[in-house]
Amino acid sequence: MIAEITHHGRAFRVDLSKPIDLSHPLHEGENQLRAWWVEPVRMEPVRSQNSAGGEIEYAVKSGSPVNFRNIFFNPHGHGTHTESVGHIAPEVYPVGEQLKRYFFTAQLVSLRPEERRAPDAKNDQVITLEQLRHTVNERPPEALVIRTLPQKDNAAKDWSGSNPTYLQSTACAWLRSIGVKHLLLDLPSVDREEDCGVLAAHHAFWDFPNTVDRERTISELLNIPAEVRDGDYLLELQLPHFMNDAAPSRPILYALLP
């Protein structure tokens, strides 16, 4: 299905029948994606007592007419998710009620992090301001999707304690200044894993506490297929109506047609 979209006077044509899913599946069991030292995802049948005092397990394989399961997970630590400024504010500011529309102009860029010496003497891998300045379109997109190189299959990776790549706070401040509203990346966080709670990149992108920005979002732990080329796209950003600072999400790209 071909759709025509106009944004700021520019017309785009996209094929909505060919979505490019940027999310990791959320599942239980071994080899699941995790970060921040969270426990594995659990999906368990509800169990209750029947009138005779026995236990009922709500699983079809156990004789129940339906599967009826509880799911225990952490939006930030398990899989692809989107967060609001409520992630760093005293108030929650639910991400589930933030978006007023769901399609945005987007640019996908692939960047190889640069090595920087951190205060604790570790050699960090960092996405820098200069890299973004030389990569982002002259006419900035509403959403920027960052793929880090070299690309690896992280579908079963536990990122905890690995000191992953992160973004310079100046880079996030610059993205805000040029009008980027949605920042998406294939890493656990825009910030360093251990930074004594500073979260400088989060604060810079949302300009918090100077303002409470209810328009911008950050999406992390994306799964960007290797065959998807850098360039301009249409992004569809959908997430459940969670009254929480973060929610699992499923970012979808659509290629622009000539």
User: Tell me, what amino acid is at 169?
Assistant: S
**Phi–psi pair at 95, nearest 5 degrees:** -70, -25
Pick the CATH number of 2-28+75-255 from 3.30.450.40, 3.40.50.300, 3.50.30.50, 3.10.110.10: 3.50.30.50
| pLDDT of 118 | 78
Cβ 189 vs Cβ 181: under 8 Å: no
CA angle 67, 68, 73 (to 5 degrees): 120
The whole-model pTM stands at 0.95
Residue 121 has a pLDDT of 66
- Residues of the chain within CATH 3.50.30.50 domain(s) are 2-28+75-255
| pLDDT for residue 5 | 80
Q: What is the pLDDT along the chain (258 residues), one digit of tens a residue?
A: 888 888 777 888 999 999 999 999 999 988 899 999 999 999 999 999 877 778 899 999 999 999 999 999 999 999 999 999 999 999 999 999 999 999 999 999 999 999 988 777 679 999 999 999 999 999 999 999 999 999 988 899 999 999 999 999 999 999 999 999 999 999 999 999 999 999 999 999 999 999 999 999 999 999 999 999 999 999 999 999 999 999 999 999 999 998
- Spell out the alpha helix ranges (H) of the chain: 129-133, 169-177, 200-206
C-alpha span between 146 and 156 (Å, rounded):
20
The pLDDT of residue 51 is: 72
| 95, 82 contact by CB (below 8 A) | yes
Distance CA 218, CA 147 (A): 14
Which pair of structure tokens corresponds to residue 72? 């225990």
